[in-house]
Amino acid sequence: MKCTIRLCLLLALLGLPVAHAADTAISIAPVKTLKVDRGLTADGKACITCHQQIAPGQVADWADSRHAHAGISCIDCHQVAEDAPNASRHANVEDTPVFVSALVSPAVCGRCHVDAKEQFDASGHFRAYRQIIPKDSLHALQVVHEGRNHPELSGAPGETGCMQCHGTEIKLDENKRPTPETWPNNGMGNIYPDGSTGSCTACHSRHKFSIAEARHPHACASCHLGPDHPNIEIFNNSKHGHIYNTEGDEWTMDSAPDAWEPGDYRGPTCATCHMSGIGELQVTHNISERLYWNLWAKKSDVRGSDDVLSPLLGDGPAGREKMKTVCNNCHSETHTNNFFTQGDKAVMLYNEAYYTPATAMLDELREKGLLRENPWTDEFQITYYYLWHHEGRRARQGAMMGAPDYAHWHGFFELQQDLYKLEQIHARRLESGEIE
Ligand code: HEC
Ligand code: HEC
Ligand code: HEC
Ligand code: HEC
Ligand code: HEC
Ligand code: HEC
Ligand code: HEC
Ligand code: HEC
């Protein structure tokens, strides 16, 4: 019988005979198979045998993973101590002696992947949910305005929207299983019942946990898209996206960490610039490490803070040097330096010519009592919001990642329209002393 890697491994794990494994087209070294087989206890094997019947898709993904090759199986990630807050026995399965949980927190991954977890904990991704907790205006947006203060259903916008990207605090029901208000979600900043924070599956989806997947721009695109942070659209608009989209499917994406270098690929993906080892740089799970500006805030300042909750997390000048090191693997220093001179100019223009005058008008109207209490019914405040949160981010991020359509048509073109509109409303209100 011929068998694929996946099938051979599965048979071997279950202790079933694997005929002629050595002479299959892609063979697994017998030694490794033996090691895997020894690593699994009877309880560990039982998970696989039984779940193969229930949800074969999950077992197939796992069997395809590096974990399966290394003998790391269901029980290593899902078993929990009897007294853990999320310890549940299977509802319909009396004969499994093991306490399990569907929740697998970053602390579980961190038992084996210490560096990845430490770097993640020091990154802007770590705060994705925590930064929302104290912000009353954001809760009001989700529950009062979008959720219409509905007695039972007001949570829907947050649960199907914000939470799926940002995460939430995962709560447990009386059976120690996660509640439908908080799970499932892959949000980046989930807080788990064990207190750990994050979502390793956000980029390495379960149960394959592949680095090749995370190196593709699609792994970031499920969150980094849309009108307020169109990073995948920006990438597609850039020359790098042009190259990736024409030939990326032929590149080598599964080289070992720190061995994935130009030659395996011709152009950078999101991961190459923000995370991967390249040249003298090492892999980092801290996506804030190579940044200079903050480009999402109302005003862009240079980064310089160790506080993971600070918008200025990072070290701007050091980040810029690292990012330039990335570019210089494929470009000349003149090319790289000139590119950043162009981009920085756009960020400074936004700060000085849009953020500053718009904010001065906002402050003056507030002082004179000429702003509506509900910002979402006030033409001035709505336009101000679009100016920094949508148009302003697109102009800044488009400029810094080489996307002319976003720097210009979706960026500065719309910014000047916003500013003229703000000036007109401002003049009208000052003249009449009233909100129209
Ligand atoms: C004899 C069959 C059987 C065995 C053995 C078994 N399971 Fe399950 N498992 C099930 C069934 C059926 C369900 C779905 C019913 C449920 O959620 O209780 C399930 C559900 C689960 C869930 C989801 C629980 C939830 O709250 O949604 C996890 C995680 C899990 N199993 C892991 C394991 C692990 C790890 C092992 C090995 C230690 C294991 N299972 C052994 C049958 C089995
Ligand atoms: C490397 C760790 C790891 C291994 C090994 C692993 N899982 Fe998971 N599993 C996860 C993570 C992470 C999640 C997502 C949990 C969350 O959202 O917190 C998950 C979720 C699940 C869920 C619930 C979600 C769903 O889609 O139904 C089930 C059931 C499950 N795993 C079963 C299994 C089975 C069966 C195996 C063995 C074939 C297995 N897992 C092996 C990490 C692992
Ligand atoms: C019990 C230890 C252990 C746990 C727990 C564990 N891993 Fe792993 N993981 C490993 C080992 C060992 C390898 C290396 C396998 C190899 O090199 O073939 C690995 C490899 C990986 C890789 C690289 C895969 C590739 O394509 O090269 C990723 C990504 C990964 N793990 C993510 C996770 C995530 C996410 C979790 C938690 C949901 C997790 N691991 C939990 C031991 C573990
Ligand atoms: C599950 C959704 C999700 C995925 C997938 C995701 N991100 Fe993010 N990312 C976020 C959120 C949410 C934030 C905002 C964090 C905050 O609240 O400050 C963010 C912020 C960032 C930042 C800015 C950090 C800072 O310090 O301001 C960078 C850079 C970034 N992500 C890069 C990436 C890259 C590169 C990938 C893919 C390899 C990726 N992200 C995948 C959700 C995601
Ligand atoms: C499609 C995924 C997605 C959804 C849905 C989403 N966000 Fe975000 N959010 C992001 C990403 C990605 C960033 C990072 C932007 C950047 O770095 O430029 C971000 C940034 C932010 C920031 C700025 C970061 C900081 O540290 O202050 C806040 C605040 C925020 N989002 C709140 C929300 C709220 C509240 C909702 C729901 C009303 C929401 N987001 C919905 C993906 C999302
Ligand atoms: C923002 C997306 C993203 C998130 C979130 C993420 N990873 Fe990764 N991870 C990557 C990328 C991209 C690579 C490949 C880097 C390279 O090119 O070598 C990687 C590589 C890895 C590797 C192999 C490289 C190494 O350093 O050993 C492991 C193991 C790993 N991740 C584990 C984790 C764990 C554990 C978590 C959660 C704490 C996690 N990842 C969260 C994107 C992510
Ligand atoms: C050619 C390298 C390169 C590629 C490819 C790239 N980026 Fe960037 N990215 C940058 C640079 C440079 C900046 C601006 C850094 C600075 O502040 O000087 C940036 C900024 C960002 C920011 C803004 C952080 C903030 O402060 O608001 C996010 C978010 C981001 N990138 C995500 C992504 C995602 C997601 C992808 C893929 C879809 C991607 N990037 C592709 C180089 C790259
Ligand atoms: C893996 C190699 C690689 C890396 C890393 C890389 N680039 Fe590129 N880049 C290319 C290739 C190839 C082109 C296409 C050149 C052409 O248009 O003929 C390109 C094109 C560009 C262009 C379009 C203008 C031009 O020269 O055609 C800009 C701007 C650019 N890169 C900036 C950067 C910046 C800034 C960085 C670092 C943040 C970077 N690149 C990182 C390979 C790379």
pLDDT digits (tens, 9 = 90+) for 50-108: 999 999 999 999 999 999 999 999 999 999 999 999 998 887 676 678 899 999 999 99
Distance, in Å, from the CA atom of 428 to the CA atom of 436, rounded to the nearest integer, reads 8
pLDDT band at 398; cut points 50, 70, 90: very high
The pLDDT score that the predictor gives to residue 188 is 98
pLDDT of residue 19: 34
Ligand 7, atom 24, lies closest to the CA of 295
61, 72, 73, 90: which to mutate for ligand 1, most atoms within 8 A of CB? 90
Distance 161 CA to ligand 2 centre (A): 23
pLDDT at residue 14 above 80?
Answer: no
On the question of a cis peptide bond just before residue 357, with omega within 30 degrees of 0, the verdict is no
**pLDDT surpasses 60 at 382:** yes
Residue 25 banded pLDDT, cuts 50, 70, 90: very low
pLDDT digits (tens, 9 = 90+) for 343-365: 999 999 999 999 999 999 999 99
Neighbours of 117 (CB within 10 A): 21
Find, among 221, 198, 204, the residue nearest to 129 by Cα: 198
For residue 434, pLDDT beyond 90 = yes
Instruction: Say if residue 184 is preceded by a cis peptide, omega within 30 of 0.
Output: yes
CB atoms inside a 10 Å sphere around CB 66? 12
Q: Is the pLDDT of residue 10 over 50?
A: no
Please report the pLDDT score of residue 388 as a whole number: 98
Answer whether residue 6 shows pLDDT above 80.
no
Atom of ligand 1 lying closest to residue 46 CA: 5
| pLDDT of 8 | 38
Mean pLDDT taken over the chain:
91
**Residue 89: per-residue pLDDT:** 85
Would you say residue 20 has pLDDT above 90? no
Predicted pLDDT of residue 94: 67
Instruction: State in Å: Cα 93 to ligand 7 middle.
Output: 48
Question: At residue 5, does pLDDT exceed 90?
Answer: no
Give the pLDDT confidence score for residue 90 in this predicted structure: 80
Place of tokens 């219409």: 148
Q: How many whole angstroms from 231 Cα to the centroid of ligand 6?
A: 19
Q: CA 129, CA 262: separation in Å to the nearest integer?
A: 35
| pLDDT > 70 in the chain, percent | 90
Q: How remote is the CA of residue 297 from the centroid of ligand 2, in Å? A: 36
pLDDT exceeds 60 at position 30:
no
CA of 197 to the centre of ligand 1 (A): 24
CA–CA separation, 167 vs 198, rounded Å?
8
Ligand 3: residue of 33, 72, 196 to mutate (most ligand atoms within 8 A of CB) is 72
Token match 């039982």: residue? 46
Question: For residues 150 and 143, is the Cβ–Cβ distance under 8 A?
Answer: no
Does the structure show a pLDDT above 60 at 148? Answer: yes
Residue whose pair of structure tokens reads 């923000």 in the numeric block: 274
Lowest mean pLDDT among 33-47, 91-105, 151-165, 358-372: 33-47
Classify the C-alpha dihedral 138-142-143-148 as positive or negative.
positive
Q: Is the dihedral of CA 158, 159, 163, 164 positive or negative?
A: negative
Give the range among 3-12, 74-83, 250-259 with minimum mean pLDDT.
Answer: 3-12
Measure CA of the first residue to CA of the last residue in the chain; give whole Å: 80
* Structure confidence at residue 28 (pLDDT): 34
Three-point CA angle 57, 59, 60, nearest 5°: 65
Ligand 7 neighbour 291 (Cβ under 6 A): yes
Ligand 6 pocket member 167 (CB < 6 A): no
Confidence band of 40 (pLDDT split at 50, 70, 90)? confident
**pLDDT value at residue 97:** 81
Say what the pLDDT of residue 36 is.
Answer: 42
